[in-house]
Amino acid sequence: MSDARFFNDEPFLDDEGSDLLGREQYARHAVELLGRVRAQTETGVLALIGSWGSGKSTVLGKVIRLLQRQDGSEDWLIAELNPWLYSDLESLTAALFSEIRAALPKEERWSEVRQRIGGFGQAISPLGKLTALAGLDSEGLIQAFSDRITGDTSASAAKRKAEDALRQAGQPVLVVMDDLDRLTPDELLLVFKLVRLVGHLPNVYYLISFDEQTLLDVLQRSDLVGNSEGRAREFLEKIIQVRLDLPAFRERDAAAMSIRALNALLDSHSLSMTPSEERRFSEAYFRHLQDRLQTPRAVKRYFGQADATLSSLTGNVDLVDFLIVTFLRTSEPGVYRLLRRHRAELTGTSIDPAQRHSTQQPGERAERWRHRLREACVAEDHIKGVLNLLALLFPTVQQDLGNGSDTKAAAQRRGIGSADYFDRYMVFGVPDDDLPEATFDQALAQLTADAPGEEAAELLLRLRDDTHRITRRIEQRRSTGIRLPAAALLKAMADSYGQLTAEPEMMGLVNSGMSMQFLARDLLTDLPPEQRARVLAAMAATPDGAVLATRTLHRVTNPDNNDSEEVQTAEDWSLQARDAVTEQIAQHLVPTTGRPAEELTESDTDLIWMWRHTYPDSLRPWLRQRLHNGWEPLPLLGKLLHPTSRPHRLIDGSVLAGLDAMFGLDDLYTRLDPLLQTQTSNNSPNEHHANILQALREHRPATGQTPPPDSGTAA
């Protein structure tokens, strides 16, 4: 099958390669059988029987071609009649004789035969149908009416003349009629009446085709047969002399045809499957798809649908997931719609606690999916297979079935089970709010070559606006061993860090800054140690970048992420990085000199906290100098500590340790002692300052001695 054959429902008459399903051989058998029937009877009806989509039209087409290529004195003449076009016996009869006349050779010696055939048709047709039969104009129609009144125009006489002419001509005519099972009961009975009675002529043979069970169902709806399959079969046996049952479409035939169609699909899109993809598709096909692809038409239709939508998705989705989703969309449209309705649950991003932390057992969760499939109109005997297909696509469904699953695998292969890629399968392309893989890779290549272009600019813009997805996609490439431009990415992330607009994820627990910090940590560890200090210093060139650089250094050097500790390792690179980042922070804080503490910006206070992480031994004298030069300790604490809805949690053990690292608690309590001794009311003009003082009182021992920084959180 070539890819050009995907988009039509025509018979396979010009298949390339071997005769995969043996249709050519069977057509030759049918031609041979026609010759044997002709040798034994003047007329006959043969039926090519097969299910819808099994290839009946292909065999009929091949039979016609073989007959047309014969070279002999008794070559078959072919008349093709489409019963669908005619709604009554008279029209159908006129059409039959018109098609027979049209099939006759145009030589002079055939003129009498054509005339006698036309005469028989005129004799049994109402005058209103004669124009269709003989092509008469109004004047000819009047003449025909006159001839019928005055001449020997009885139907029996006309039929005898036609029979004599056909016998004398001695050349067989084959009338081919396809898809009789698609007629209404009345139309079907008209055809059989025509074939068995009116058209029962010497040297005229009929080759009809239909799906037997469908035809029997149609006959049972007629008044002639009634609701009895036995009577329908008996009626059919009276019409048909010879059955030509189409050979069964075996599993090996379906597999061979599917492989050919798959290869044509891959070739037409310049794709190939990896061994892993081959294994996954083989599992899906032989366990589930094969049972549903039981006719050549079904195979062709399935891969045709895949070909119709793959071009816009090539390289942007997982090929096997795409093929499975295409099958569901083609064969189970209700399930395809169900995917959209349950997107969050299927991708593991639902904020519904009942779905994220279900107390149901796996069997109960599986039954919930079976119920949904029934509501999606999946036949009962298909539910198990469809559910298993969903499990191949979605780790969440796999878990609901009680099986383990790799939740990261879907994202790594760009599967529909990942929220980052789900929408691509629904819109048959990359949405406007997403970044195509080719653009993504080109952007990384530009950053690697230090030659940023439009793609790199687009990536960095998305890094601010779609931080979670972009950082995950970078991590996915990193996890597969792809070499990334770590230094360039870290610098770009630092430049974007203060401009992040993406909403938090995971029920608000992970903000965009955290997603960027985790990626920055991993990228820094990918760099050789001797490059890390230089890259961190470059990141810290801006105040926001200095915050990210500090947090990245802290995460790398503190595997347990103890927020109260500074850089703990004594490796040369980390010490160099500590000093370089600290120097940058100090430079960014120079403009605060001469301004009161009340005018510190959020960026300023962030930098002070970051300095505490890098090198608190140098921060403490810097702060003391500022306090000596006019900063007031309580307004400074008011800027460093953000208000909270729970004042008793304003200063916990971690914050207390941080204050000790920045000020020294002894010194801080001494400076604040007059305010701490004075009990301020809750109606203080600055409630935040009052809450800070109260929190410090609760942490200050009654003896006036400073508690150790790790004394824990106040009750």
Query: What does the pLDDT look like over 9-26, one tens digit per residue?
Result: 555 545 544 566 778 888
Q: What is the pLDDT of residue 646?
A: 77
- Report the share of the chain in percent with pLDDT over 90: 53
For residues 195-221, give the mean pLDDT: 88
pLDDT at 145 over 50: no
Q: What is the pLDDT of residue 702?
A: 59
Q: What is the pLDDT of residue 41?
A: 92
Q: How far is it, in rounded angstroms, from Cα 622 to Cα 633?
A: 13
Instruction: Indicate the burial class of 269 (C-beta count within 10 angstroms; 0-12, 13-18, 19 or more).
Output: middle
- Judged by DSSP in three states, 77 sits in strand
46's enclosing H/E stretch is: strand 44-49
Q: How far is it, in rounded angstroms, from Cα 583 to Cα 332?
A: 63
pLDDT tens for 86-98 read: 777 778 878 888 8
Q: What is the pLDDT of residue 567?
A: 52
Between 8-12, 131-135, 241-245, 432-436, the lowest mean confidence (pLDDT) is in 131-135
CA 524, 527, 533: angle at the middle one, nearest 5? 70
pLDDT band at 227 (very low <50, low <70, confident <90, very high): confident
Q: How far is it, in rounded angstroms, from Cα 690 to Cα 688?
A: 5
For residues 212-231, give the mean pLDDT: 89
pLDDT band at 619 (very low <50, low <70, confident <90, very high): very high
For residues 52-70, give the mean pLDDT: 87
Q: Is the pTM of this model over 0.75?
A: yes
For residues 145-162, give the mean pLDDT: 64
Pairing between β-strand 77-80 and β-strand 44-49 as defined by DSSP bridges: unpaired
| Most confident by average pLDDT, 62-76, 593-607, 679-693 | 593-607
619's enclosing H/E stretch is: helix 616-628
pLDDT at 623 over 60: yes
pLDDT at 122 over 50: yes
Of 128 and 586, the structure prediction assigns the larger pLDDT to 586
pLDDT band at 165 (very low <50, low <70, confident <90, very high): confident
pLDDT at 709 over 70: no
DSSP string, 171-240: --EEEEE--GGGS-HHHHHHHHHIIIIIT--TTEEEEEEE-HHHHHHHHHTSTTT-S-HHHHHHHHHHH-
Give the tokens for residue 333. 């449209």
pLDDT at 144 over 80: no
Taking Cα atoms as reference points, which of 187, 9, 175, 8 lies closest to residue 85? 187
For residues 515-525, give the mean pLDDT: 95
Q: What is the pLDDT of residue 128?
A: 46
For residues 196-209, give the mean pLDDT: 87
Q: How far is it, in rounded angstroms, from Cα 350 to Cα 346?
A: 8
Of 23 and 288, the structure prediction assigns the larger pLDDT to 288
For residues 534-542, give the mean pLDDT: 97
Q: What is the pLDDT of residue 17?
A: 47
> What residue ranges in 56-203 does DSSP mark as E strands?
77-80, 173-177
Give the tokens for residue 140. 């000819």
For residues 261-276, give the mean pLDDT: 94
Q: Which spans in 376-430 are helix H?
A: 383-393, 395-400, 407-412, 422-427
pLDDT at 357 over 50: no
List Cα–Cα distances, 568 to 403, 547, 577, in angstroms. Answer: 42, 18, 12
Q: What is the pLDDT of residue 643?
A: 87
pLDDT at 135 over 60: no
pLDDT at 164 over 70: yes
Give residue 499's identity as a one-letter amino acid code: Q
For residues 185-199, give the mean pLDDT: 84
Between 70-74, 184-188, 374-378, the lowest mean confidence (pLDDT) is in 70-74
Q: What is the pLDDT of residue 181?
A: 83
Average pLDDT of the chain is 85
Q: Backbone dihedral region of 270: left (phi > 0), alpha (psi from -120 to 50 degrees) or beta?
A: left
pLDDT band at 707 (very low <50, low <70, confident <90, very high): low
Q: How far is CA 327 from the centre of its chain?
A: 10
Q: What is the pLDDT of residue 574?
A: 92
List Cα–Cα distances, 323 to 6, 295, 623, in angstroms. Answer: 15, 18, 63
Between 129-138, 206-215, 229-238, 289-298, the lowest mean confidence (pLDDT) is in 129-138
Q: What is the pLDDT of residue 265?
A: 94
Give the tokens for residue 44. 């006959």
pLDDT tens for 638-664 read: 999 988 877 777 898 889 999 999 999
For residues 523-529, give the mean pLDDT: 95
